């Protein structure tokens, strides 16, 4: 019989252990935590940052980073809101918002992959551009009174119970997981993140795949911005502020390496849930939101230390 290895178990399932620990703690602190309504509310709240985190995980797999996703989400949401508010077809407006995000990602990807600009500075600049554009198109004013039919995609529920946005998040997670694991493109991202030069020598089109990754990340952010506008029934130019940091945190907690070559979209899913549990339980017990940021930072450090500790033990 194979001997139980605690270090190997923790390395493989550390996120699951953290989730179980926080679920138990949250259940003790608030009897309302495990109630169905609260679980469904968490599903709704996880959806938008979760979709952004999926795109971030794709880029991190390459060893890159994208700080522009919050701004891209806000700008895409504003453009869609303007179109919906002007009476345009809702489907066309949604596609326009997602496409706008993809175009911004294309510009970012080309600047990084073909022009050789550093991803940190380039995406930070794109964040400023997108945020400024979001404020410019409406002079900083929100767009109110969006149609009820538009609200359904981001705020509607199946059978008046299950959030549609949550189901979309789960579906996208499954889709990207399959892409990363079973497609040539997905496997190439791991190869590029592991060793860019070796990947190029092996015939992988590094610059093209780099650019596509940033397009996908920004398009997902754009879609998240559309869902935000739909959920709020309001185009908010300051929407999704700080979501880029939550997306990076969720990816890292889920096991992604910022050095590239290692990631897990399912782990990112768990990272999003863990961060939302922290927010949820603080709200349920009435603790100030200021402490949430401290708690999130501490959890990220704990997750990193746990990964490092079990890795050293294994070596």
Extended strands (E) in 144-247: 157-158, 162-163
What span, in angstroms and rounded, lies between the C-alpha atoms of 302 and 281? 19
What span, in angstroms and rounded, lies between the C-alpha atoms of 270 and 273? 5
Q: Which residues contact 88 (CB under 8 A, 6 or more apart)?
A: none
The predicted model scores a pTM of: 0.92
Q: In whole numbers, what is the pLDDT of the chain averaged over residues?
A: 89
SS percent in the chain: helix, strand, coil, step 5: 75, 0, 25
**Whether residue 311 has pLDDT greater than 60:** no
What span, in angstroms and rounded, lies between the C-alpha atoms of 204 and 126? 27
pLDDT tens for 47-67 read: 999 999 999 999 999 999 999
pLDDT tens for 97-124 read: 999 999 999 999 999 999 999 999 999 9
CB neighbour burial string for 131-143, b if at least 16 within 10 angstroms, e if fewer: bebbbebbeeeeb
CB neighbour burial string for 151-179, b if at least 16 within 10 angstroms, e if fewer: bebbbbeeeeeebbbbebbeebbeebbeb
pLDDT tens for 3-36 read: 656 556 666 667 788 888 888 988 888 888 889 9
Cα separations in angstroms, 169 against 2, 59, 82, 102, 165: 38, 18, 24, 18, 6
DSSP-H helix ranges across 30-68: 36-61
**Whether residue 315 has pLDDT greater than 70:** no
How much is the pLDDT for 231? 95
**Whether residue 314 has pLDDT greater than 50:** no
Tokens matching residue 19: 């989730």
User: Which of these, 173, 214, 229, lies nearest to 69 by C-alpha position?
Assistant: 214
Average pLDDT rounded to a whole number, residues 178-207: 93
**Whether residue 313 has pLDDT greater than 60:** no
């Amino acid at each position: 019989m194979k001997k139980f290895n605690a270090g190997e178990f923790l390395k493989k399932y550390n996120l699951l252990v953290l989730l179980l620990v926080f679920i138990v703690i949250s259940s003790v602190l608030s009897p309302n935590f495990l109630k169905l309504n609260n679980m469904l509310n968490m599903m709704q709240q996880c959806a938008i940052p979760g979709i952004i985190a999926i795109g971030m995980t794709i880029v991190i797999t390459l060893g890159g980073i994208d700080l522009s996703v919050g701004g891209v989400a806000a700008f895409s949401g504003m453009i869609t809101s303007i179109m919906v508010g002007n009476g345009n077809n809702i489907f066309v407006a949604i596609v326009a918002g997602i496409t706008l995000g993809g175009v911004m990602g294309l510009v970012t990807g080309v600047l990084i992959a073909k022009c050789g600009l550093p991803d940190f500075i380039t995406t930070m600049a794109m964040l400023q551009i997108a945020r400024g554009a979001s404020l410019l198109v409406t002079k900083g004013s929100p767009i109110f009174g969006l149609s009820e039919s538009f609200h359904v995609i981001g705020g509607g529920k199946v059978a008046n119970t299950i959030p549609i946005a949550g189901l979309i998040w789960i579906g996208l997670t499954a889709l990207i997981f399959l892409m990363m694991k079973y497609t040539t493109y997905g496997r190439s991202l791991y190869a590029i993140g592991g060793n860019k030069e070796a990947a190029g020598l092996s015939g992988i089109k590094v610059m093209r795949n780099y650019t596509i990754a940033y397009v996908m990340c920004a398009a997902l952010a754009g879609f998240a911005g559309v869902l935000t506008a739909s959920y709020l029934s309001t185009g908010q130019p300051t929407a999704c502020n700080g979501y880029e940091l939550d997306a990076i945190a969720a990816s890292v907690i889920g096991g992604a390496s910022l050095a590239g070559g290692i990631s897990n979209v399912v782990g990112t899913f768990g990272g999003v849930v863990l961060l939302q549990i922290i927010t949820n339980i603080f709200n349920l017990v009435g603790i100030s939101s200021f402490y949430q940021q401290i708690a999130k930072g501490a959890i990220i450090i704990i997750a990193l230390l746990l990964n490092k500790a079990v890795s050293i033990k294994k070596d």
